[in-house]
Structure 1
Amino acid sequence: MTIELADHGYVYVTDASALQRAVEGLSSSRIIGVDTESDSFFSYKESCCLIQLTGEEGPDYIVDPLLLHDLSPLAPLMSDPRIVKVFQGADFDIVSMKRDFGFQFETIFDTMLAAQAIGHERFGLFDLVQHFFGVTLNKKYQRHDWSSRPLREEHLEYARLDSHFLPTLKNLLEAEAQAKGRMEMLNEEFGLLETREWTGRDFNPNDCIRMKGASSLQPEQLRVLRSLYTLRDSIAKQKNRPPFKVWGNDVCLKLARELPTDRDSLKKALGEGHFVGRRYGNDVLEALQTGIADTSPPPVPVKVKRKGAGVVPPFSRDDEPLLSHLKKWRNKRMEEEGVGAGMVVNNNILKSVAALRPTAASQLSPIPDIRNWQLEAYADLLVEAVAAWKDKKPAEGEPSGSGRRRRRRRRKKTKAGLEADTEDSSIQSVSNNPPSEAPEPPDNGPVDA
């Protein structure tokens, strides 16, 4: 059975007086659905371009930060603990509004997290709205450039539906979560979301070392990579585009490896007619020469101290058999509880457990990012799972299952080799070959598994 919601239309808020009326209209609501639209695929520095707000009654409000210079009237709504702010995937929305407007949040509800905790296999807004309301949302403008103005009617209709269903959806999911005993877990997760902060940082040329594949480069190549990385960022800033839309990391890495020094070698490295060579050829060659001439220290990876380091040892290859055992335990719990991995214990936590090999539940507390609800629900079970693996593990000095299989294969190989020797000797006798001319026996050394 699907639910039909009353539709009170929407209000596009573009001036201070309209914003004040929106705040007054929403202040009496106990629940407010919140969503945002940004321009992360279209701007050098992303910004929040729309805020959609829906109360329990009344219209959907679409607030336009690009046309309003002061959004401070919204701040009390966001920080009011008596009003539940409902998001679908709250993390990005919260950090974006904290970064751009300085909002603080108290009392939130995330419908995506709730749906996962309950056990909904499909927990995107599109699927939840279709499931509960029988409405198929239009995905046409998911990648729209929300910084462009003016916005057309179809853009505003699309945007307002992202918050329109959230208050009612919150009530439906909360009832399911309470029935399944999941609210304590969810409240802890919601509390952590409220504290999320923007972690972006200003451009640093040495961040090029974080590119996948950069660690395999030689020092002289790393200096060139840094020079190309800096050029790309300056072009992106000038054009107000994300750096990846200027050119990709693959181009930076390829040029750093091959080090072309003129137009011909650049064309050979990139391929005939490549847009980077056509649009930025002179600048790229200059950046290559700058990097080649650079004698400063190359970029090096920055080691970030792990939370829990010193108490929880780092994961190593020796821990992989136990990790495999713990994953099987976790997957069984997922099936029994009808939820995803993140709603039991994720792989990063399992790696820490495998490295720690706890003998008591209290030893799990220092593990990075482990939640109180996970400790309460699974700490004892994890310790039991580790103990069960230790009981089955081969004793010290005794070969593991894979080791035994390797030994069996070596014995078979040795036996086959001896049989071949006997066969060769018989042939030699029949052909009257002297012993000194007999072929060498096959190599019966260890065989790789």
Structure 2
Amino acid sequence: MPSHPDDPTPAEQPTPEEPAPDRPLLTLRDGLPRIVDTETGLAEVCDRIAAGTGPVAIDAERASGYRYSSRAYLIQLRREGAGTFLVDPIPFVILPRLQEALEGTEWILHAATQDLPCLAEVGLQPSRLFDTELAGRLLGYPRVGLATLVESLLGARLAKEHSAVDWSTRPLPEPWLEYAALDVEVLVELRDLLGAELEAAGKAEWARQEFEALRGFEQAERVEAWRRTSGLHRVRGRRALGAVRALWETRDEIAEHRDVTPGRILPDSAIVAAAQAMPTDRAALLATKGFHGRGAERYASRWVAALQEVATMSEADLPARSPRGDGPPLPRAWAEKDPVAARRLALAREAMSALAERTQVPVENLLTPDYLRRTLWSPPSARDAATLAPAVADQLRALGAREWQVELTGPILVDAILTAEQPA
């Protein structure tokens, strides 16, 4: 399992978007289905899904904030002519028969990048998909949470009070299961309305390309994930940085072994406090102000061992003050490092903002910000428009930009590259 930064505890998680209270509360039209956790039950589900018609609404519940892994602890499915199903994936290693039943169907998901990795873990991968959150972004909706879109387009409230519960709990309480089933109750209807809006806005092909790109989505492994430790900016000196890294990696090993989210072992604030104080023994560590957490005392010997190792580490083995990367420097450093590149970026950003306003598409959806920065920091060498335009287009495609993005933003980048080098 790839390492990841500290997950928020349930109390720290963002408050879900709540629809207006005057809307009617969405309820299950077919009642609450029983949970499926046997081979016989799963076979029946697969037969019924295969016999249904149209796209399949799919959602998955993970135990974020509780578990180290990102595995699915519940999978919800709904298809017209088949009904709604709640599948407990834990008794099954993979779900090949369910994948076979879903083969060739269009999946409807909300915020697909959250669910695709954990669905792939159990062998479920879409032939086609429609992401209602991404569709909302392309259509310019200011808020694209599922509850908000359901309220805006369907005029109903979607209860979200169980969004941060521990889905690894067994047995799952009935109110949680009802909440989970509701998440797929109206996805087919929502997809039809958003699809019609995309067609009317001339954005259906944009969406098709985006959805096709999502089919191959994989969670990127974070490089030097320990640098995302909250409060790291307060740490001074490479040895203290080394202490943060050592404590973070030790905590990550413990969390992975126990399948507990790292923050429930030791909070980031405790790591920073210990790294700043650099205590050399158990008593000093436990007396360090700010060093606390469920695993603070239980794993004290391991924290001390990590700190002692850092204390004797050679300078060459200590982490650099700035993260390593293969991309351009942070934008705030461009003016000093390359004033022409900084001007390219400023011109492009201004034009991209105008394009976002005209198209009613967020800037980050018009073009991934990293693609923009990489192209403008190291643009093709050509400096005549006829040669530069296809070179920029090829560079954007190589980075992963979709064709509709290349067509819309390529000319902006070409113009910024050429204009930035003209005399002021």
Verify same fold: TM over 0.5: yes
Where in structure 2 are the equivalents of 1:39-188 lying within 5 Å? Answer: 39-68=63-92, 71-78=95-102, 80-81=103-104, 83-98=105-120, 100-188=121-209
Q: Which runs of 5+ in 1 are unaligned?
A: 310-314, 395-449
Q: Which residue of 1 aligns with 2:403?
A: 372
Aligned 8 A contact 2:267 2:293 in 1? no
Please give the alpha-carbon distance, in whole angstroms, between the structure 2 residues aligned to 1:14 and 1:273: 39
Supply the AA of the counterpart residue of 1:45.
Answer: S
Q: CA deviation at 1:34?
A: 0.5
Kindly state the Cα deviation for residue 109 of structure 1 after the two structures are TM-superposed. Answer: 0.8
Task: Give 1:226 shift.
Answer: 4.5
Root mean square deviation, CA, Å: 3.5
Which among 252, 255, 263 is matched to residue 274 of structure 2? Answer: 255
CA, structure 1 residues 32+298, in 2 after alignment: closer, same or farther (shift >3 Å)?
Answer: same
1:22 pairs with 2:40: no
In structure 2, the partner of 1:270 is 289
* 2:264 aligned partner: 245
- Decide which structure has the larger Cα Rg and report it: 1
The amino acid that maps onto 1:366 is: Q
Greater CA deviation, 63-72 or 138-147?
63-72
Q: Secondary structure at the match of 2:56?
A: strand
Written as runs of structure 1 = structure 2, the 5 A alignment for 1:341-352 is 341-352=363-374
- Offset of 1:159 from its aligned partner? 0.2
The match for 1:323 among 327, 345, 359 is 345
| Alpha carbons 2:43, 2:97 under 8 Å: kept | yes
Deviating more after overlay: 29-38 vs 330-339? 330-339
For 1:6 and 1:244, how far apart are their aligned partners in 2?
36
Q: Shift of the alpha carbon at 1:316?
A: 3.1
CA shift digits 1:275-313 (9 cap, x unpaired): 66555444433432343345696254785545xx9xxxx
Superposed displacement of residue 5, structure 1? 9.5
| Separation of aligned partners in 2, 1:224 and 1:353 | 36
- Alignment CA distance shift 1:137-1:295 (3 Å): same
Distance in 2 (alpha carbons) for counterparts of 1:228 and 1:339? 42
SS for the counterpart of 2:395 is coil
Q: Is the 8 A contact 2:162 2:176 kept in 1?
A: yes
Compared CA separation, residues 117 and 371, structure 1 to 2 (3 A): same
Q: Cα distance, 1:38 vs. partner?
A: 0.8
Listed as ranges, the gaps of 5+ residues in structure 2 are: 1-22
Pick which of 180-189 and 254-263 moved more.
254-263
Superposition TM-score, scaled by structure 2 size: 0.78
Query: d(CA) in 2 for partners of 1:164 and 1:171?
Result: 13
> How has the CA–CA distance of structure 1 residues 260 and 352 changed in structure 2, closer, same or farther, with 3 Å as cutoff?
same
Q: 1:192 to 1:247 in 2, by over 3 A?
A: same
Q: In the TM superposition, what whole-angstrom CA distance separates every residue of 1:180-220 from its partner, at most 9, and x where no partner exists?
A: 1112111111111111234459xx9x864665749976554
User: Is the CA contact 2:27–2:182 (under 8 Å) kept in the aligned structure 1?
Assistant: no
* Structure with larger RCO (C-alpha < 8 A, sep 6+): 2
How far is 1:89 from its partner?
A: 0.9
Task: Indicate if the aligned counterparts of 1:219 and 1:298 stay in contact, CA closer than 8 A.
Answer: no
TM-score (norm 1): 0.74
Q: Which amino acid aligns with 1:87?
A: L
- Identity, % of aligned positions: 25
Q: Aligned partners of 2:373 and 2:208: how far apart in 1?
A: 26
In structure 2, distance between residues paired with 1:20 and 1:180: 41
Contact 1:208 1:214 in 2 (8 A): no
The answer for the alignment partner of 1:335 in structure 2 is: 357
Is contact 2:154–2:190 with CA below 8 Å preserved after alignment?
Answer: no
- Which stretch has the larger CA shift, 120-129 or 257-266? 257-266
